[in-house]
Amino acid sequence: MASCRPPTSRRNAERQQALITALRRRFGDRVRIEGAAAGLHVVAWFDDLPLKHEEALIKAARAKGVGIYPVSALVAGRRNARKTVGLVMGYSALEVAQIERGCKLLAQAVAELD
């Protein structure tokens, strides 16, 4: 039976799954993924990375060509703001191979922090 999903929606679902799979493969239990049920991005929480490492991680990842954005910029000033690194990661404009490479490079950037 053919899928009722439009081609773009199906491709975005494949990209989202590729991102989630790549994050879990590279980081295992170190990453907690939220927001997969809506939108064209997910939030990846690195509960073992203190917020003080966020700027260095963003800089290292971007130097490797990985476009990630910190959650902290979205929750600044809130009393219940997180104390660990959270990254907003979009996937709709990427191909699966780019997603997998980006997660590999992100893992390298995280390893450089240790």
Task: Spell out the residues 6+ positions from residue 73 whose beta carbon is closer than 8 angstroms to its own.
Answer: none
- Tens digits of per-residue pLDDT, 51-87? 999 999 999 999 999 999 999 877 766 555 678 999 9
pLDDT score, position 78? 59
Delineate the domains of the chain, giving CATH numbers in brackets.
7-113 (3.90.1150.10)
Using the predicted structure, report yes or no on whether residue 2 has a pLDDT greater than 70.
Answer: no
pTM above 0.75, yes or no: yes
Q: Where are the beta strands (DSSP E) in the chain?
A: 32-34, 41-50, 69-70, 84-90
Distance from first CA to last CA of the chain, Å, rounded? Answer: 49
